[in-house]
Amino acid sequence: MVAALKNRISPAHDLINPYETALEQYERATNRLGIDENVVEYMKWPHRELTVNFPVKRDTGKIEMFTGYRVHHSTVMGPSKGGIRFSTDVTLDEVRALAMWMTWKCALVNLPYGGAKGGVLVDPKSLSAREIESLTRRYASELIPLISPHSDIPAPDMGTTPQMMAWIMDTYSMTVGYAVPAVVTGKPINIGGSQGRTEATGRGVIVSMMEALKRHGRTVKEDIRLVIQGFGNVGSHAAAYAYDLGYKVLAVSDVNGGIYNPNGLNIPSVRSYVAETGGLSGYPSAEPVTNEELLLLPCEVLIPAAMEGQITGENAARLQTQFIVEGANGPTTPEADDIINERGIFLVPDILANAGGVVVSYFEWVQDLQAFFWDEEEIFRQLERILVKAYDATVRTAEEYNVDMRTAAQMTAIKRVAEALMTRGFYP
Ligand code: NAD
């Protein structure tokens, strides 16, 4: 049994542990801030962690056990907020890292939330529709002591969809006896979801990219070539929005590899192909590339939008990009950060670049609590306003302390949480 459990841990995390990355980033940021060491120690720790092992009846009648986690890193600023990931790479350390990054992300964009994250070790594609519903509902019921509109509000992340959020909302609602749309965000619109939530993260990535380009005087869209790793929720919507705006998207990828056309891909056609075939492989009018090769393609903007630990000490020196805009959480290791900074590649960090998702999740929660819904134009206007303001705050910190954008974004966020913590005090 122990061997079977160990087999579920991805070897990738033996090499790059996202929690080590998150803690190293935290140390770099807090070293420069000069805040009370008791506060620094307190904020380093996840507030609470739940591990659940639960059964799912397979279509064959066999019961299979699955492992899931939910970590609340912080509830200093408000209820904790963070996605749920279904992936065979999930580990407790990964969830801890993602929860910590959520705390800083929410603080950076000034949302009244702490940070959380959840995950289940499962390949959702390996289960039937009935099995995945059963797994999602059972995991949701295991989370009931933790989640509610006022304590912890989950959302989608890698491997999870609006339909799964609907099942979580329904499971919670059935337990309490009335409909509670605000318990989860990223739901379908017909049960209290928000306009614009599905595309919010990808769109926000492009808003942050444009802000970075504008501030570097790079305003001619036709001169900007993008390479995007990951063609899921974040990557595909980033690609679509960039394409609509007139940028050239040269390459995109999924878990099985990528496609590359030096003259630019027709993104609507790529999206139709993926909708029909389920993946990118075999897409005509493009060359196949591996994910490793894709990261090293010549471009102006590289957007990692798949998972952690992709840009490392091993490949950072060989990148051929001028800007990196992080759609994924934690795609760059601290060792790679040093190389990127030394090479003068300008990086817009994850907690800033991909904050569009949690911002529109916040709008969804507010709309659900008020039972009053906004139109898409209002959502995107407010989203852009908040992201540009956070970008501004990050640049001001970077200039004041003479630090890179990642350290600046984390310093800005950590300072806000630290001040709130000191105002609240240490209970009892
Ligand atoms: P998704 O499941 O919709 O898509 C993930 C994509 O990455 C898919 O194309 C998948 O094939 C690909 N992929 C998976 N493993 C890979 C690997 N080892 N190498 C290359 N590609 C791989 O997930 P998503 O919601 O788009 O999330 C992507 C990243 O963005 C994650 O880091 C997530 O935490 C982050 N993020 C997501 C949101 C959101 O709103 N969904 C918000 C903020 C950050």
- The pLDDT tens digits of the residues spanning 161-208 come to 999 999 999 999 999 999 999 999 999 999 999 999 999 999 999 999
CATH number at residue 111: 3.40.50.10860
Percent of the chain with pLDDT over 90: 96
Distance in angstroms (rounded) separating the CA atoms of residues 91 and 103: 19
Q: What is the mean pLDDT of residues 389-396?
A: 98
pLDDT attached to residue 355: 98
Q: How remote is the CA of residue 55 from the centroid of ligand 1, in Å?
A: 26
The residues lining ligand 1, judged by C-beta closer than 6 Å to any ligand atom, are 156-159, 201, 229-235, 253-255, 291, 305-307, 327-329, 354, 357
CB 206 within 8 A of CB 234: no
| Selection from 344, 356, 349, 352 nearest residue 334 by Cα | 349
* Residue 225 CB contacts under 8 Å (≥ 6 apart), including other chains: 247, 248, 249, 250, 264, 298, 299, 300, 301
Domain boundary at 179, 208, 237, which? 179
106 shares a domain with 67: yes
Distance in angstroms (rounded) separating the CA atoms of residues 145 and 40: 28
Residue 93 lies in a domain: yes
153 shares a domain with 224: no
Q: Does the pTM exceed 0.85? A: yes
Domain range spanning residue 63? 48-179
CATH number at residue 268: 3.40.50.720
Residue 152 lies in a domain: yes
pLDDT attached to residue 4: 38
The one-letter amino acid code at 169 reads M
| Selection from 97, 47, 33, 42 nearest residue 75 by Cα | 47
CB 323 within 8 A of CB 345: yes
Query: When comparing pLDDT for 253 and 2, which is higher?
Result: 253
Mean per-residue pLDDT of the chain = 96
Residue labelled with tokens 């956070």: 390
pLDDT attached to residue 140: 98
Residue 391 lies in a domain: no
Tokens of 155: 């959302």
Annotated active-site residue in 117, 214, 221, 415: 117
Ligand 1 atom at minimal distance to the Cα of residue 159: 2
Compute how many other C-beta atoms are within 10 angstroms of the C-beta atom of residue 344. Answer: 7
| Selection from 68, 165, 46 nearest residue 114 by Cα | 46
175 shares a domain with 139: yes
